[in-house]
Amino acid sequence: MYDNYNYPAGADNEYAPWNEESIPEKDFDVTCSQSLSKTVTVTTNNYIPGASGVDYEPDDEGGCCAVGWHDPDDTSDTDWEEEYHGSNHYTPLQLIQKFKEFLEADLEKTNKEIAEGENHSPIRKARKSLLKHLIEECDNWSEDETEYVED
């Protein structure tokens, strides 16, 4: 039998919110799958220049008109992956790795400051916790697809 502790009649029963059992937290494996793309300018001399020239065509007045033309450059044999990386561009995974290295260096500095007694503030400890969390978030990513295409 429930004691209503001055609750309205019928309010203190097995269905009252304070009598419900909370569901315990449980871990689940979740995969985050994303396709990303980015267009960048890559400078290279690894191509065959297209031909160009001038054609002379008759015009409506009985004379000739010069018309210039230029074939597109041939990049069919260009290794765009090599050119992309050679131009110091990074894939998302490489950026995550660089970010992780930056965070690890910052965490090492923070640990050193705490160990030396510099700034034992709650903010410094919160920063340490955040850095550890961000470092963990950088791990275990995999690259499902990578493609290098000329626009």
Which pTM value belongs to this model?
0.58
Q: Which comes out higher in pLDDT, residue 71 or 144?
A: 71
* Alpha carbon distance 138, 126 (integer Å): 19
Tally of structural domains, the chain: 1
6-50 tens-digit pLDDT = 677 767 777 777 777 888 999 998 888 788 888 889 999 999 999
Q: Is the pLDDT confidence value at 134 over 80?
A: yes
Using CA atoms, how far apart are residues 133 and 62, in angstroms rounded to an integer?
78
Q: Is residue 97 part of a domain?
A: yes
C-alpha span between 41 and 85 (Å, rounded): 12
**∠30-36-38 over CA atoms, to 5°?**
160
125 within domain boundaries? yes
Domain ranges, residue 35: 17-45+78-138
110 near 134, Cβ under 8 Å? no
The reply to whether 111 falls in a domain is yes
Rounded Cα distance between 50 and 67, Å, is 17
Q: How far apart are CA 98 and CA 92, in angstroms?
A: 10
